[in-house]
């Protein structure tokens, strides 16, 4: 049986509707700066989703939060102070690493820094209240923040190293991805209003503009996901992915390591845009446009269903609804489809060699995402809920016929099961993606 999802379809609809409203406002009446515009969309999304999940779904009372609301303990200023010290130390370390090693260019980091300065007067008091409030209700209050703070002041020279490892890895992920994701979001904001006229410039330009709008919406949800790693919303990091291979195949998809998948080492683009050539193929024209929008919609839906919980290389609860009820890894399927549709090396007016090399480059990109999917499965299989979900997908996924021809797509649990054994109910069904 498929386990219950940590995410909510209703929450997804509320968040997307609120975010769509915010986008429409920004198109008609853009904020004075791109940073303010990006923050506006972030708040449009996070506030209604957080309120619904807290007030209606009461996610803060789930056992998975590690919080006990039945009898809050007395506040411990000393313990909270150590946690705050650990938090400040982590933030300082992230800023120091970005300053010294210049993982991203100074220009790229300017927008996240401006946003942090703008929010600091409001966020700092909220952080203090959050730590105080949550500490009183934690079943195990000595978390990673406490161990870090106690280690810094010399009160704990032998901390819980496995816990510390997961704590540090979680913050490495957050510190690496959050700045650049916010930078991408801010960089895309001016185009919302400036390019709105493309909606009246024909179907190709309209589709290109709608894709840009969905990019902005997806980035907003991603920024919220990396920010809201909080127990109060059951959105905390249960565990980071500790497999080196997982980090390799993920990091090469993002700056500054994305020369592989962006086409700077190999060219998956031919130099011609799909929008320049698709008009020459009348039979393909409308189906192609519909498929581009559909693939990006599934891509965004696969992100939005996480609510406050999306982030790379982390386990923050198992998602089994939305597009994940149809298949494992619908986001990677949609991305791969989108890449093929927009690169279209076999449609562009280029040499045969250019078309062949671009096609092979797309295959390599697909293999990278396949590797990401496999490493995510390996990590998440530490959770029995994911094993149950993946075995169910072996029987119910929309891609189960494909596995007849490619058995390697079948998920295998750590104990060797695939859910298709004859003794399993429904075990004679066709395998899945």
Q: What phi and psi values does residue 307 have, to the nearest 5 degrees? A: 70, -110
pLDDT of residue 181: 97
pLDDT of residue 432: 31
* Burial track 400-410 (b if 16+ CB lie within 10 A, e otherwise): beebeeeeebb
pTM: 0.94
pLDDT of residue 158: 84
Residues 6+ apart with CB under 8 A from 171: 90, 94
Of 57-71, 87-101, 269-283, 312-326, which gets the smallest average pLDDT?
A: 269-283
CB 217 within 8 A of CB 23: yes
Of 83-87, 276-280, 285-289, 407-411, which gets the smallest average pLDDT?
A: 276-280
Minimal CA–CA distance to 188: which of 26, 45, 335, 20? 26
- Dist. CA 226–CA 314, nearest whole Å: 10
- Dist. CA 102–CA 256, nearest whole Å: 10
Per-domain boundaries in the chain: 9-380
Per-residue pLDDT, averaged over 400-416, amounts to: 92
pLDDT tens digits for range 323-373: 999 999 999 999 999 999 988 888 776 778 878 888 888 999 999 999 999
pLDDT tens digits for range 138-184: 999 999 999 999 999 998 888 899 999 999 999 999 999 999 999 99
> How far are the Cα atoms of 169, 376, 387 from residue 162, in angstroms, in the given order?
11, 20, 23
pLDDT category of residue 403 using cuts at 50, 70 and 90: confident
pLDDT category of residue 267 using cuts at 50, 70 and 90: low
Q: Select, from the ranges 220-224, 262-266, 426-430, the one with the highest average predicted confidence (pLDDT).
A: 220-224
Minimal CA–CA distance to 41: which of 186, 225, 138? 186
For residue 24, the surrounding DSSP H or E stretch is helix 9-28
Radius of gyration of the chain from Cα atoms?
Answer: 23
The reply to whether omega before 132 is within 30° of 0 (cis) is no
User: Considering the chain, what percentage of its residues have pLDDT values greater than 90?
Assistant: 78
Residues in the chain: 433
Per-residue pLDDT, averaged over 114-131, amounts to: 98
* Burial track 154-166 (b if 16+ CB lie within 10 A, e otherwise): eebeebeeebeeb
CB 398 within 8 A of CB 333: no
Q: Cite the DSSP H helix spans in 195-307.
A: 203-227, 244-251, 274-277, 282-304
Per-residue pLDDT, averaged over 112-119, amounts to: 97
pLDDT of residue 352: 82
| Cross-strand bridge partners of residue 240 | 314
Instruction: State yes or no: pLDDT of 231 exceeds 60.
Output: yes
């Amino acid at each position: 049986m498929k386990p219950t999802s940590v995410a909510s379809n209703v929450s997804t609809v509320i968040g997307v509707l609120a975010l769509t409203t915010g986008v429409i406002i920004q198109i008609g009446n853009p904020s004075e700066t791109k940073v303010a515009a990006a923050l506006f969309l972030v708040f449009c999304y996070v506030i209604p989703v957080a309120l619904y999940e807290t007030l209606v779904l009461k996610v803060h009372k789930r056992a998975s939060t590690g919080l006990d609301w039945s009898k809050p303990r007395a506040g411990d200023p000393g313990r909270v102070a150590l946690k705050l010290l650990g938090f400040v130390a982590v933030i300082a370390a992230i800023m120091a690493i970005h300053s010294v090693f210049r993982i991203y260019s100074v220009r790229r980091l300017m927008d996240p820094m401006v946003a942090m300065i703008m929010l600091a007067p409001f966020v700092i008091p909220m952080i203090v209240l959050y730590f105080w409030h949550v500490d009183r209700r934690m079943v195990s209050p000595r978390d990673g923040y406490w161990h870090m703070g106690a280690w810094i002041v010399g009160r704990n020279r032998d901390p819980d190293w496995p816990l510390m490892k997961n704590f540090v890895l979680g913050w490495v992920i957050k510190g690496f991805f959050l700045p650049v994701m916010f930078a991408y979001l801010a960089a895309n904001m001016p185009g919302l209003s400036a390019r709105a006229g493309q909606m009246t410039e024909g179907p190709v330009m309209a589709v290109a503009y709608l894709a840009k709008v969905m990019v902005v919406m997806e980035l907003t949800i991603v920024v919220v996901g990396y920010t809201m790693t909080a127990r109060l919303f059951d959105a905390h990091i249960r565990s980071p992915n500790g497999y080196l291979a997982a980090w390799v195949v993920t990091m090469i998809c993002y700056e500054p390591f994305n020369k592989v998948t962006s086409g700077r080492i190999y060219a998956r683009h031919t130099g011609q845009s799909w929008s320049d050539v698709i008009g020459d193929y009348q039979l393909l024209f409308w189906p192609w446009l519909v498929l581009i929008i559909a693939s990006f919609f599934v891509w965004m839906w696969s992100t939005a269903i996480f609510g406050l919980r999306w982030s790379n290389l982390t386990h923050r609860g198992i998602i089994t609804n939305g597009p994940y009820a149809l298949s494992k890894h619908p986001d990677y399927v949609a991305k791969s489809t989108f890449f093929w549709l927009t690169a279209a090396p076999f449609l562009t007016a280029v040499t045969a060699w250019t078309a062949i090399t671009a096609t092979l480059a797309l295959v390599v990109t697909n293999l990278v995402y396949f590797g990401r999917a496999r490493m995510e499965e390996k990590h998440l299989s530490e959770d029995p809920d994911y094993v149950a979900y993946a075995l169910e997908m072996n029987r119910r996924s929309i891609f189960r016929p494909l596995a007849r021809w490619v058995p390697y797509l079948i998920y295998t649990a750590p104990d060797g099961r695939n859910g298709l054994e004859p003794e399993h109910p429904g075990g004679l069904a066709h395998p899945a993606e």
